[in-house]
A and B are shown apart, each in its own frame.
Chain A
């Protein structure tokens, strides 16, 4: 029998339906893979007992012909999603051993559809980071290494655990979240597929909040089809999240293989950065060529406010974060560091519980919302946000169906290599992805090639609001042309 962990989700679904193997076998294969890959530090909590129990239940349902769309499929869950009875920490010391009494809407929909939980995945603390180095559980290793090098690279972030685990074949798919690129950048760094759906497509209920107006859940998967299958289960209106949108969730898988002939694809000129590596430029060109070969029309478009997106993002996101993280105060749950009075208790708890990057963003956020600075920073950033949104609206109004860009300005880098002296160096990782969050649009990252050192690179497609289907159709064209990339196992 072939190694069950190397199957795509779609292949595994068929194997389960055909009774070629059971969910228990599939789950056990992944549990063994997880055990063997602990050096990657992708999982911060393994739940083998729960996984096997869920697998048995799925097998029972498959036998009865009562299987949900994801019956028996073993998944990893980013530690930002509250999981009932299973420790949920957002990879922050401040949550300590917090065990929720509730299940996030997104994960409960996955379990409703029969999926199996293997455990909780590492991420940057409170999803703040682009390398998964800010986690209180330590950095995650990227299964990809440079040709001829043993140096461990970052998997990107904040959903670094999700990307690493999917790329290393530890789980068939994973939940992730994206506030400024946290699904798409790690997907690009690990040759996996990641989609951030339209803001409001997935419920945020039960997901530890970073920046409420930007946060959105999505899957990281081994193929475009797998991502489509996962998103269908994750998406949907939730009355408990009033920012989730009440429109039907289409059968995303049906978009796979649909012709892209005649589609108009925009190439934004502002995304052509000075000093951009030639191989990124080349990759972008390849992507355009593949889509043109499939019958799409390529047009140059302008998104004039792009250069203001990153600075504006680093005002809006920290502002919301500074308020969202106020609840971690040592009073009701999580870490408490005593003090002589309530102010000291707050200070000691938050000084001890938050890592450096989280503290930095809380400080920035507090500053930009302060009296006398609000208008100059927060209000202005919101105006910029409106302009960025309008850039995209104008572009789509001219008949553009989707926009093609590189996913990241570089391939994965080494642990400790970036951002040590200047945090902005790290922030620049999200230069191509933050605009999408600022505009609330869907964006997908699809593996498209490798750089000269053998590291994967990805392309990003940006779509109209709630038109994830077009992204799946186009993404699959790139996937078919570029081929599948699997890292060589070294762990």
Chain B
């Protein structure tokens, strides 16, 4: 569990510690729904992806989509969790028009995935391990539309029956930073695995956050659940607000009521949605339409063997193979797309061992920096991995300097083209021919006799000469050669 120090909140009576647990609802990446053959495509006309089963027509029966089971098992493996070879689907009974069956098929007592853990990196090289309590499969609900008619509500069942994984953490999270980092890391793992696209704007990843406060090390307080958060930043804000609200109540002599709350990002506050008394009695019982979900260890092993390299493994490899700093490696592996881009650059390099680390610097500083500045995604980067690899090759082999490389990067960004050809056609090659550089050096010394005389007393003014020579050569002179020549000629 947590070894990292975490943030405590100051109250009138001293410090308070937050205890946070999360339930993440992650939409399973699959073509068809969990128990029907209907499409899971996003954005169709209302009720265009609805089967007889989804609409709960009389006599319809659910049939498990095996791909969704595989995705859940893959995710469980990615969370280093126990895979349960036998699990049970239960009915969670409640009436609401977004749930045509009158119950949601979920897993209550026997989930498909049991305990696991996630390593979460924090700022400053700190990290914390968050326990996973369980992961289970369940059906998503439909959506009510209240804006189509002045007197009626409409219901769109396109999402109804889409598979969700509910990933429940242990109450191991201790502050908003950890909470945000946990969701970020979980999202990254899901995206690496390809089991959830992690698109929070489209609702593919939503979090319910349980927050309570206590005196550090003291007994647990009463928790409140903040429902349906779909932004990592809002999760952080909601936790801070909710914890302070609870502290204020307790310090004023009040008691926390266990309840479900919603976060209003416009007002920056949480407000009560329903109290414990209003909570539903879901009357869970095993769904008699479905046999227990059973599979063999061989099935699990097969999925395990096909599992892609996950961010933690990739990070370790980058540090070991290319000497990247742990921080740089973390930045590269955080998003699957970034890691893929970096690895594609590596694949194209002429000398990976020599230039792998330089490539990381270029991807992180030049490329990501530029993309961030323009608000662009790596998917539509104007400079592709092949072009970047060529630029790095040119530096590595000494054809251009780092400074020229930045100009070249800019040209490729703006105009595109093959970097090597551009260096040729635009005469950007570094000049290493000593006689050519010597001529320039001699000219500049001759033109500045006073300064040349001063150099012996003030060796730091040598830099001025270097600058002049580089300027005169259009930046193409090899800086090292220039330095050596000047030293020899000026006698320092």
Instruction: Name A residues whose Cβ lies closer than 8 Å to a Cβ of B.
Output: 81-82, 88, 90, 95, 98, 100-102, 104, 204-209, 211-213, 239-243, 319-320, 322-323, 325-327, 329, 331-333, 342, 346, 366, 369-371, 374, 378
Contact = CB atoms under 8 A, between A and B. Distances in A.
Contacts of B61: 204-205, 240-243
Contact of B289 (A88, A242, A319, A371): A242
A206 B288 CA distance: 16
B59 A104 contact: yes
A209 B91 contact: no
Given A242-B289, A332-B100, A323 B93 contact: yes
Contacts of B291: 242-243
Contacts of A242: 61-64, 289-291
B364 interface: no
Contact of A326 (B64, B101, B284): B101
A252 B62 CA distance: 30
B59 A326 contact: no
27 contacts: A82-B59, A100-B57, A104-B59, A204-B61, A206-B59, A208-B58, A209-B58, A209-B59, A241-B63, A243-B288, A322-B93, A323-B103, A325-B102, A326-B95, A326-B101, A326-B102, A327-B100, A327-B102, A332-B55, A332-B100, A342-B96, A342-B153, A366-B283, A369-B93, A371-B281, A374-B284, A374-B285
Contact of A369 (B64, B95, B283): B283
Contact of B285 (A102, A333, A369): A369
Nearest to B37: A240
A102 B52 contact: yes
**Interface bin, chain B:** 20 to 34
Contact of A102 (B57, B155, B290): B57
Contacts of A207: 59
Interface in B35-75: 52, 55-64
A204 B290 CA distance: 12
Given A212-B288, A242-B63, A370-B281, A346 B57 contact: no
Given A320-B288, A374-B285, A101 B59 contact: no
Contacts of B91: 323
A3 B406 CA distance: 101
User: Which 4 pairs from chain A and chain B are nearest by CB?
Assistant: A326-B102, A212-B288, A213-B288, A369-B283
B97 interface: yes
Q: Which of A213, A322, A326 has the most CB of B within 10 A?
A: A326
Interface in B1-58: 52, 55-58
Residue with the greatest number of chain B CB neighbours at <10 A, chosen from A90, A102, A104, A211: A102
Contact of A205 (B59, B93, B103, B281): B59
B103 A326 contact: yes
Nearest to B279: A371
Contacts of B289: 209, 212, 242-243
A481 to B, nearest CB: 39
Contacts of A325: 102
A85 to B, nearest CB: 14
B355 to A, nearest CB: 55
A343 to B, nearest CB: 8
Given A101-B52, A326-B95, 6 more contacts: A82-B58, A100-B58, A242-B289, A322-B283, A323-B91, A323-B102
A204 B59 contact: yes
Contacts of B59: 81-82, 100, 104, 204-209
A405 to B, nearest CB: 26
Contact of B58 (A98, A211, A346, A374): A98
Contacts of A98: 58
Which one of B56, B102, B155, B281 has the highest number of Cβ atoms from chain A below 10 Å of its Cβ? B102
Interface in B274-319: 281, 283-285, 288-291
Contacts of A369: 93, 283-285
A378 B283 CA distance: 11
A320 to B, nearest CB: 5
Nearest to A319: B285
A254 B46 CA distance: 53
A211 B100 contact: no
Contacts of B52: 101-102
B58 A327 contact: yes
Contact of B101 (A206, A211, A327): A327
Nearest to B289: A212
Contacts of B57: 82, 100, 102, 333
Nearest to B62: A242
A95 B58 contact: yes
Interface string B317-345: 00000000000000000000000000000
A378 B56 CA distance: 25
A239 B281 CA distance: 33
A332 B54 CA distance: 11
Contacts of A331: 97, 100, 155
A71 B313 CA distance: 66
Contacts of B96: 342
Nearest to A343: B95
B51 to A, nearest CB: 11
A211 B63 contact: no
A428 B97 CA distance: 38
Contacts of A322: 93, 283
Interface in B232-289: 281, 283-285, 288-289
A323 B283 contact: yes
A206 B59 CA distance: 4
A277 B115 CA distance: 60
Nearest to A365: B283
Contacts of A329: 95, 97, 102
B34 to A, nearest CB: 13
Contacts of B284: 369, 374
Contacts of B64: 242
A323 B285 contact: yes
A90 B283 contact: no
A181 to B, nearest CB: 19
Contacts of A333: 57
A346 B290 contact: no
A346 B95 contact: yes
A460 to B, nearest CB: 24
A366 B63 CA distance: 25
A138 B58 CA distance: 22
A329 B284 CA distance: 20
Residue of B60, B96, B291 with highest tally of chain A CB at under 10 A? B60
Which of A88, A95, A239, A331 counts the most B-chain CB atoms under 10 A from its CB? Answer: A331
A82 B52 CA distance: 12
A82, A329, A374 interface centre (most CB from chain B within 10 Å)? A329
Contacts of B95: 326, 329, 346
Contacts of B288: 211-213, 243, 320
Interface in B105-156: 153, 155
A88 B58 CA distance: 9
A350 B95 CA distance: 12
Contacts of B155: 331
A242 B35 CA distance: 11
Contacts of B100: 327, 331-332
A244 to B, nearest CB: 9
- Chain B CB within 10 Å — which of A90, A241, A242, A322 has the most? A242
Given A326-B101, A369-B285, A370-B281, A332 B63 contact: no
Contacts of B55: 332
Contacts of B56: 327, 332
B285 A326 contact: no
A370 B283 contact: yes
Contacts of A102: 52, 57
B58 A90 contact: yes
A212 B105 CA distance: 15
A489 to B, nearest CB: 35
Nearest to A369: B283
Nearest to A203: B61
Nearest to A81: B59
User: Which one of B59, B62, B153, B291 has the greatest number of beta carbons of chain A within 10 Å?
Assistant: B59
